[in-house]
């Protein structure tokens, strides 16, 4: 069910709760959208998941996270939609079912939106991902991680390690790290990940996952921002704290 008053095309998700950060502190919360393809249920035994042989161009799903840092703590559920090249969309829902905030990732920029306040802040995608997950990922890196395809890259990229079955089990870059603690049966698709960064550590569990969901027209469009006011990140955090 969509939330009235929010930008169009939002899917309702479960609430995500977090401690309130002070201005200029990391914001660790999240949630997102729709798709169609392989559906994973969090109930019962996890299903066998194998990414499409033709490659993964998009992932969409639902998960839970428990993150603890020196500046913020979060425990709750979230959803995600990432599509090549460099696209992402995130939605968080408050305890009464309204859209608390949205994050759009596109064109090498990220937009943090408070729909009820009609304000937004603009930042680099990796900085925004760090604020909401505690770890600095670009949208395409997140897509590859969630589909089991974040392999070792060249200088400046992720350094990864594989187990005896050839699955990527951990990686690190620039002080950030992840470790896969559980896989879905199949072909190395992560189910439980530990995430860490400067002053932050926590765990993320994938509850539902879809490969290559059908593209939705306007899913990453931002025309509604023309009627919103741009704010600094410190100003956004102050509004969240009110």
Specify whether the CB–CB gap between 123 and 134 falls below 8 A.
no
The highest-confidence range among 18-32, 67-81, 114-128, 146-160, by mean pLDDT, is: 114-128
The per-residue pLDDT for 228 is 98
Lookup result for tokens 């919103």: 228
DSSP output for 135-195: S---HHHHHHHHTT-----STTS-EEEE-TTS-EEEEEETTEEEEEEEE-SBSS-EEEEEE
Range name among 24-38, 91-105, 228-242 with the lowest pLDDT average = 24-38
Pull the structure tokens for residue 128: 């925004």
**168-181 pLDDT tens trace:** 999 999 889 999 99
Between 139-146 and 125-133, two packed helices, what is the crossing angle to 10 degrees? 50
Task: Give the pLDDT mean for 51-57.
Answer: 92
Residue-wise pLDDT tens digits, 12-27: 333 444 444 444 444 4
Task: Tell me the average pLDDT across 209-228.
Answer: 94
């Amino acid at each position: 069910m969509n939330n009235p008053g929010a930008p169009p095309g939002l899917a309702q998700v479960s609430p995500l709760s977090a401690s309130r950060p002070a201005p200029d502190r990391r914001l660790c919360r999240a949630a997102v959208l729709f798709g169609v393809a392989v559906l994973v249920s969090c109930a019962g035994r996890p299903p066998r998941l194998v990414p499409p042989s033709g490659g993964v161009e998009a992932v969409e799903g639902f998960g839970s996270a428990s993150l603890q840092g020196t500046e913020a703590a979060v425990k709750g559920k979230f959803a995600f939609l990432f599509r090549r090249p460099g696209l992402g969309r995130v939605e968080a829902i408050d305890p009464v079912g309204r859209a608390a905030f949205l994050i759009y990732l596109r064109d090498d920029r990220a937009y943090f939106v408070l729909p009820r306040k009609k304000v937004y802040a603009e930042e680099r995608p990796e900085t925004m991902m760090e604020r909401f997950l505690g770890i600095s990922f670009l949208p395409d890196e997140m897509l590859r991680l969630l589909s089991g395809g974040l392999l070792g890259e060249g200088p400046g990229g992720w350094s990864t390690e594989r187990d005896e079955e050839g699955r990527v089990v951990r990686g690190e870059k620039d002080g950030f790290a992840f470790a896969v603690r559980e896989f879905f049966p199949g072909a190395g698709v992560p189910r439980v990940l530990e995430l860490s960064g400067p002053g932050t550590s926590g765990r993320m569990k994938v509850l539902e996952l879809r490969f290559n969901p059908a593209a939705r027209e306007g899913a990453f469009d931002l025309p509604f921002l023309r009627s919103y006011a741009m704010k600094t990140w410190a100003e956004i955090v102050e509004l969240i704290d009110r």
